[in-house]
Structure 1
Amino acid sequence: MKLLKKILKIVAVFLILSVLGLWLFSRTLHPKYEGNLELQNISEEVKVYYDEVGVPHISAQNQQDAYTALGYVHAQDRLWQMELIRRIAAGRLSEVFGKDLLQTDVFFSGLGIEENAAKTIRELDTSSKAYQLTMAYLNGINQFINEGPTPIEFYLVGLKKEQYTIKDVYNVFGYMAFSFAAAHKIDPLLTEIKEKLGEDYLQDISGPKVINTTLIHNQKNAEITSELASSLQEMYKKLPVSPFIGSNSWVLGAEKTKKGKVIFANDPHIGFAQPAVWYQSHIKTPDYEMYGFNLALTPFPLLGHNRSYAYGLTMFENDDIDFYFEQNNPNNPLEYKTADGYKKYAILDKKIKIKDAKDTVYQIKVSKHGPVMNDLIDFIHEERPMAMQWVYTKINNQLLEVAYELSHAESLSDFKEGASKLHAPGLNIMYGDAKDNIAWFASGALYEHGRKLNTKTILDGASGTDEITSYFDFEENPQAINPSWNYVYSANNQPDSIKNGFYPGYYLPEDRAKRIVELLEAKNDFTKEDVAAMLYDVTSASTPVLISDLEKSIDKNSLSASERKSLQILKYWDGFYGKSSLAPTIYNRFLYEFLVGTFKDELGVSFDQFINTPFQDKAVALLAAKEKSVWWDDISTKNTKENKGQITTKAFQQAIAFLQKQLGENIDDWTWDRVISVEYNHPMGKVAALRSIFNVGPFKTRGGNEVINNQIFNLDASGVYQITAGPSSRRVIDFSDVENSLGILPTGQSGNIFSDHYKDQAQKYLEGKFVPMKLNQKEIKDSGSLLLFKPKE
């Protein structure tokens, strides 16, 4: 017994010491928000004041010192995020996560992003301020790598830290540009619909070029497999970094506001993850000031404001990717046909390192259009070589200069000059200033082909007739400067016509745009609080119209009492997606069943991919308004031909039966918050034991697809809606009170789990609240801690 007690005591002491040791070790991993540190390559002291939500306010005597400090503080909060995002375009995720990410690495490494980065870097002006400040920023990151604590994620996956270079910055730009694009998700599918089902099927869901009515006005029978689109969807699910999706922004001119000064609003929609996408910082030097939101590894903010102007962005959604079917030489598969005869493919040798496995070596064939996708996607069974032409890798890359000039503009003209240099990704760049200017620029390299084409299908690469023949001058791009209607806005919707036509793109439905315009047109005395409330608005302007179009086709005489009650709830719904609302629950299940009844018999395995694209959102609105369509017939019933009424009635009845089984017989219990939730996922959270440590949530919330407070989820058979994307930040800048501007992130400023700012904004974000974006120096000094960087001897 004595021996047993002695053993137990030893075990107890060991456990206590182990816990104490782990606690002491964890203390070394905390970010340092106060005290003194020495920093190389700064000429004078740099003061960094951290406010209540962990935003660093950097005060320096020159920009070189400020950006060195920015790199250090950005890295200590977000080094793990930086590490992951720089690996995507380079095809290096398998080194961290193993063979599950191999196909993703093969795909991204073959897009030409790294090759484009190398070419761009060779041609950079190393004497430019943009380059010099970028190198200062990278120097700060690398000093943290050398001297700061290693984030816990590196220990968990057994990864060594590496120095960062400017190539990593351009790899981030490349990933950002590709994640904005939509052609690779839609074009192959539409091509197969046309080739396997026929032109009628394509036309019935495409309709006219402009099927939405809210425009951004300028002033100035076979199964469809779509291997490329569906496999890309699977790869995006595996990515540990968020893709870019949509966004809202509007800028109110002085005549539209109560205090007679410009009010700016922006909320870019990006895939949710932990940490949050944007990192906030405030830099102040004698010759410069900017409160900005930076992506990982980007030195200059893509969203920002100061006392003089504010800017932000939404996705343009223009078409900047074309796919081409190439024709191989029948006598030599290493050559392809062109209008000038056969040419040799360029051959690129690639190697990918895989954790706990042998390296993979492969080759990519590149035509004059771009990489042959058959080499990059294992699941493509198309025998014809399919090449991807992407504007990003075709034109001189000036993204570093664009970001620098947008964040360092001294006038609207300067700002426009920076916006004009953007080639890809296409962005709606929004602007407002203290001098009462407002502007919107649809920026990106726009082009036209030699003949009229449906660029949403795969083009002919051999004939030479489908090539780009010219690029637009920037003055021809959609844009508005100080328009007579006194506001500019973007919700990723179709811009008004240019050059006597509408530019092709993958524009989102008019839902959010329609709601924004309704609210903006309703009054001329907006306050900052009004605009903040708009960003949290969850009423759909278009869904009631869609419901009305479908409800008319339902056979009311065949409905049960529960079905009739459910239909009445839908019929009188105003489109509000509140937590306790019943209609959103009924509507989204009805929509899913309607899509199944309409499209699944023809699309087969590609159905799930199709219904979660912006194209579906527009197609279903178009079909709902029609009485006849080739899609209504269920091709699996050989001896009957269904009509709209039969498809719609059956879909509604199946929806109600499903909800009764899922949520119970009492319709009053079918509240929206029972089926929708949001969780911000960290890559380490995929391990069950670590989920509660690294992930933030889950939370109940309000909102839905295509409302201003856009809570994006996929429709599927489950009847449960897990939000995957939404506003990555919300900002309101009122130039009548610019020092009290408002902002919020979905979770928090830091990606370090030991930081108090890992998730301290989460509840406020869910409730539509904001935190101040401080500019007043006295308030900054009084509000938080001081980290002092001293020049290292």
Structure 2
Amino acid sequence: MKKLKKVLLVLLSLVLLVVISVLIFVQSLKPDYSGTKSMAGLSDEVNVYFDDFGVPHIYAQDEADAIKALGYVHAQDRLWQMELLRRVAKGKLSEVFGVDLVETDKFFLSLGIDDNSVEAVANANNESRAVMLSQAYLDGVNQFIEEGPTPIEFYLTGLEKEPFELKDIYDAMGYMAFSFAMAHKTDPFLTDIKNELGEQYIADMAVYSDTSTVWIKNYRNAKKDSLELDITASVFNALEKLPIPQFEGSNSWVIAPDKTKSGKVILANDPHISYAQPSVWYEAHVSTPTYEKYGYHLAGVPFPMLGHDRKLAYGMTMFENDDIDFYQEQVNPADSTQYLTEEGWQSFEYVSKEIKVKDAEPVSFTIKKTRHGSLVNNIAKQISGETPIAMSWIYTKLENKVMDAVYDMSHATNLDEFKASLPKIHAPGLNIMYGDAEGNVAWWATAKLYQMPDSVSTKLVMDGTSGKDEPIRYLDFEENPSAINPPWNYVYSANNQPDSIAGMLYPGYYLPENRAMRIVNLLEGKSDWDKESSAEMILDATSMVNPALVTELIKLLDVSHLTEEQLVQVDALRNWDGSYTLDAISPTLYHRCEYYMVKNTFLDELGEEKFQQFLGTHVFKRQIAHGARMKDGIWWDDIRTKDKVETRDEIVLKSFAEAWESLVTDFGTDTSQWQWGNVHTLEHPHPIGQVESLRKYFNVGPFPVNGTREVINNMNFTYDGSGFYKVNVGPSTRRIIDFSDVENSISILPTGQSGNPFSKHYKDQAEMFVNGEFRKMMMNQEEIIEESASKLIFTPN
């Protein structure tokens, strides 16, 4: 008995020892939010105050010192995110995640982002302030890599930490530029439809501009005096495996003094990005005697993409312009190393690449390039088409000055200086929103736009051989859409179609008018806006379009064939105001009906694979209202029924019946269980969370959430046939800057400031976010010092 007790005691001691060791190990992995650290190259002491949500407020006498400290604290919270983001353009995800990411790596290597970054660094002026500060930031990042604890993800993947370099910043920016593009999802898909089904099927789709929808108006004024190609599947497959988020859409509006209660400008912005953990933005407040900015940073990028100070504020949305074109090339039948141009045969360029693959042999492949760009036929094994298709992307064609633009934006002190920075953004296409303490409001569409021949549709694969489908000219920046201090006293963007300035429309992948219509409706109807009403508006979850569609289509139902409960819910739909609250039932029934209506309309022609691709395009979003209003159209007929031609009315009746039946199957006949919160949920996925046993430790959520696709609170999802709507895209932050009280401006992140699972700031904003709450963006130094949860001091080494 005594021996057994001794054995048990020894085992207990070992268990305690293991537990203590694990706890010590976990503690060692947490970020340091307090204490003193020496840092090489500092000219003076830097004080970093962390507020209750882990946002660093960095005070230094010299900006380079402050940026160096920013690099360190950014890395200790987001090094894993930085690592993944820099790997995308380099084709190095397979090195972390194995063979499943080989096609993704091939795709991004073919884009040429990393090659473009090499060229940009070679051409950079190392004496410029932007480069010097970037290097200071990298010095801070690399000191953490050398001295700080290794994030748990590196242990789990077996990845070694490596220093960061200037090219990594450009690679991160290049990924963002591509992530904003829509053509890679759309042009090959539409070309497949045209080739396989015919022109009429394209004509009945919402592909091109519609003058009856809400467009963004331009206005110019001086500053105020007081102030079978079969390449579609491969692109989708390559992108869906990305372990980091893609940029998708956004809302922003800036309200001029004449429409605010205080007589001061208010800026609101909520960029829409795929949800992931950690979330995209890292907040940081940097203050020196000569520079101050409260900014939102991409992982590994020293200058904020969104920011404000006491003088001005800026935000962004996606412009959605078309900056990627696909060209069909012709190979010389007598010499496969040549392709045809209007000037005769030219030689392909060949670039060899090697991809290191975890737990497998390296993969070598060759990128084949024409004057237009890389042939996308080489990017994935699913390619079966023999016709060579080249992808032309303006980002890699012109000199890369995007980093200079972001630096200049973050250091501008007035409207003129800010505007002067914008022509340097050639890609991605962005709507840049601006407001300042002098009362100016402005919107600029920033991108290097180009004019194509009138007969050419850039939404389809073009002819690369004749020279007739090439750009005619690049537009001057002054020809871009914009509005400065318009007489209607606000500017806005919801990724919708802009009006023309240059006497031409700008080809793009603009989203439907739903959000734009609601934003304009709300802004026009009120002239005493303040921070509180702006916060209420940014959370608005009401669609003005969906109830109108219901009103149109519900007339087609034969009420004599409906049950009593169906009549109750149809009547509720008829009176639905378009709001998406957690306890609402009408949204659930509406989206079931919408899905079955889309499925019954398009699946027969497209087949399962292309139907799923269609659901992931902007064309699908535009098609919903456009198609439902078409009483006659070629898509309505089910080509599988040879003896009849189906009509819209028949599709509507069939879809309602199938939607109702599916809801009864999922939730039973008690319609009180059909609430929106039971089907519409948000979970923030971490790459390591894909392992089911680790999901609860790394993923955040799921949470029931209000909102839906294409309302202001744009909680987007992709139909997958399950009847459950897992939100994958939405506000990456909600910001409201009120110049009447700029130090009490408000914001929120979807999860938390830190990407370290052991940090208390990993998910401390997640429930606030889904509940529509905000927190202060602190800027008052006395208040920050008094209320900060902790202080980290960097001293010169």
Q: Into which bin does the TM-score normalised by the smaller protein fall?
A: over 0.9
> Is the CA contact 1:205–1:620 (under 8 Å) kept in the aligned structure 2?
no
CA distance in 1, matches of 2:242, 2:643: 45
CA distance in 1, matches of 2:212, 2:761: 42
CA distance in 1, matches of 2:660, 2:747: 41
CA distance in 1, matches of 2:363, 2:158: 21
Q: Alignment partner for residue 297 of structure 2, among 288, 294, 297?
A: 294
1:246-395 to structure 2, matched below 5 A, reads 246-395=249-398
1:351 positional shift: 0.3
1:258 positional shift: 0.2
Q: Alignment partner for residue 683 of structure 1, among 687, 703, 720?
A: 687
> Is the CA contact 1:451–1:465 (under 8 Å) kept in the aligned structure 2?
no
Q: Encode CA deviations 1:555-586: one digit per residue, 9 max, x unaligned.
A: 33443333333322222111100000001100
1:410 positional shift: 1.5
CA distance in 1, matches of 2:16, 2:517: 61
Task: State whether structure 2 residue 665 is matched by structure 1 residue 673.
Answer: no
Q: Alignment partner for residue 631 of structure 1, among 617, 632, 635?
A: 635
AA in 1 matched with 2:396: T
AA in 2 matched with 1:249: S
Deviates more, 1:107-116 or 1:226-235: 226-235
Please name the residue that 1:228 is paired with. Answer: 231
1:199 positional shift: 0.9
1:211 positional shift: 5.3
Please name the residue that 1:616 is paired with. Answer: 620
Q: Encode CA deviations 1:411-459: one digit per residue, 9 max, x unaligned.
A: 1011111112100000000000000000000000100124431110000
Q: Encode CA deviations 1:447-478: one digit per residue, 9 max, x unaligned.
A: 01244311100000011100112000000000
CA distance in 2, matches of 1:214, 1:226: 34
> Is the CA contact 1:226–1:606 (under 8 Å) kept in the aligned structure 2?
no
CA distance in 2, matches of 1:212, 1:233: 31
Q: Encode CA deviations 1:89-148: one digit per residue, 9 max, x unaligned.
A: 100011111111111111111111111111111111111100100000001000000111
1:165 positional shift: 0.5
Please name the residue that 2:107 is paired with. Answer: 107
1:194 positional shift: 1.1
Q: Secondary structure at the match of 1:323?
A: strand
**C-alpha distance 761-207 of structure 1, shift in aligned 2 (>3 A):** closer
Q: Encode CA deviations 1:641-698: one digit per residue, 9 max, x unaligned.
A: 1111001110111100110111110223211011111111111111122111111111
CA distance in 1, matches of 2:133, 2:575: 57
AA in 1 matched with 2:149: P
Please name the residue that 2:224 is paired with. Answer: none
> Is the CA contact 1:334–1:345 (under 8 Å) kept in the aligned structure 2?
yes
CA distance in 2, matches of 1:765, 1:382: 46
Query: Any gaps of 5 or more consecutive residues in structure 2?
Result: 221-227
> Is the CA contact 1:210–1:502 (under 8 Å) kept in the aligned structure 2?
no
Please name the residue that 2:81 is paired with. Answer: 81
Q: Secondary structure at the match of 2:386?
A: coil
1:237 positional shift: 2.6
Q: Encode CA deviations 1:305-334: one digit per residue, 9 max, x unaligned.
A: 000000010000000000000000011222
Please name the residue that 2:223 is paired with. Answer: none
> Is the CA contact 1:193–1:202 (under 8 Å) kept in the aligned structure 2?
yes
Please name the residue that 1:491 is paired with. Answer: 494
Q: Alignment partner for residue 434 of structure 1, among 409, 432, 437?
A: 437
Q: Encode CA deviations 1:217-272: one digit per residue, 9 max, x unaligned.
A: 0013xxxx874333333333321110000000000000010000000000000000
Task: State whether structure 2 residue 548 is matched by structure 1 residue 522.
Answer: no
Q: Alignment partner for residue 776 of structure 1, among 757, 776, 780?
A: 780
**C-alpha distance 128-212 of structure 1, shift in aligned 2 (>3 A):** farther
Q: Encode CA deviations 1:3-60: one digit per residue, 9 max, x unaligned.
A: 3332222211111101101111111111111110000111100010111111000001
Q: Secondary structure at the match of 1:57?
A: strand
**C-alpha distance 610-421 of structure 1, shift in aligned 2 (>3 A):** same
AA in 1 matched with 2:392: Q
CA distance in 1, matches of 2:623, 2:230: 21
CA distance in 2, matches of 1:227, 1:337: 22
Q: Encode CA deviations 1:680-738: one digit per residue, 9 max, x unaligned.
A: 11111111221111111111111110111110111121001111110000000000000
1:213 positional shift: 1.5
Please name the residue that 1:397 is paired with. Answer: 400
1:212 positional shift: 5.3
CA distance in 1, matches of 2:376, 2:76: 38
AA in 2 matched with 1:327: Q
Please name the residue that 2:225 is paired with. Answer: none
Please name the residue that 1:710 is paired with. Answer: 714
Please name the residue that 1:762 is paired with. Answer: 766
Q: Alignment partner for residue 415 of structure 1, among 413, 418, 426?
A: 418
1:201 positional shift: 0.8
**C-alpha distance 241-719 of structure 1, shift in aligned 2 (>3 A):** same
> Is the CA contact 1:211–1:618 (under 8 Å) kept in the aligned structure 2?
no
Q: Secondary structure at the match of 1:36?
A: strand
Q: Secondary structure at the match of 1:755?
A: coil
Q: Encode CA deviations 1:612-655: one digit per residue, 9 max, x unaligned.
A: 32211211211211211011110000111111100111011110
Task: Tell me the TM-score normalized by structure 1.
Answer: 0.98
Please name the residue that 1:445 is paired with. Answer: 448
> Is the CA contact 2:46–2:65 (under 8 Å) kept in the aligned structure 1?
yes
CA distance in 2, matches of 1:12, 1:493: 65
> Is the CA contact 1:169–1:298 (under 8 Å) kept in the aligned structure 2?
yes
1:552 positional shift: 2.7
CA distance in 1, matches of 2:93, 2:626: 41
Please name the residue that 1:203 is paired with. Answer: 203
AA in 1 matched with 2:142: N
1:178 positional shift: 0.7
Please name the residue that 1:95 is paired with. Answer: 95
CA distance in 1, matches of 2:577, 2:386: 50
Task: State whether structure 2 residue 745 is matched by structure 1 residue 745.
Answer: no
CA distance in 2, matches of 1:419, 1:743: 25
> Is the CA contact 1:113–1:171 (under 8 Å) kept in the aligned structure 2?
yes
Q: Secondary structure at the match of 2:776?
A: strand
AA in 1 matched with 2:784: I
CA distance in 1, matches of 2:675, 2:229: 36
Task: State whether structure 2 residue 579 is matched by structure 1 residue 576.
Answer: yes
Please name the residue that 1:511 is paired with. Answer: 514
- Aligned positions, number: 788
The alignment-based identity, stated in percent, is: 51
> Is the CA contact 2:59–2:286 (under 8 Å) kept in the aligned structure 1?
yes
1:207 positional shift: 6.5
Deviates more, 1:201-210 or 1:42-51: 201-210
1:177 positional shift: 0.7
Query: Any gaps of 5 or more consecutive residues in structure 1?
Result: none
Please name the residue that 1:178 is paired with. Answer: 178
> Is the CA contact 2:209–2:497 (under 8 Å) kept in the aligned structure 1?
no
CA distance in 1, matches of 2:230, 2:31: 45
CA distance in 1, matches of 2:643, 2:372: 47
Please name the residue that 1:659 is paired with. Answer: 663
Q: Secondary structure at the match of 2:102?
A: helix
Q: Deviating runs (4+, > 6 A) in structure 1? A: none
CA distance in 1, matches of 2:671, 2:34: 55
Please name the residue that 1:787 is paired with. Answer: 792
1:608 positional shift: 1.2
AA in 1 matched with 2:446: S
AA in 2 matched with 1:744: I
Q: Secondary structure at the match of 2:13?
A: helix
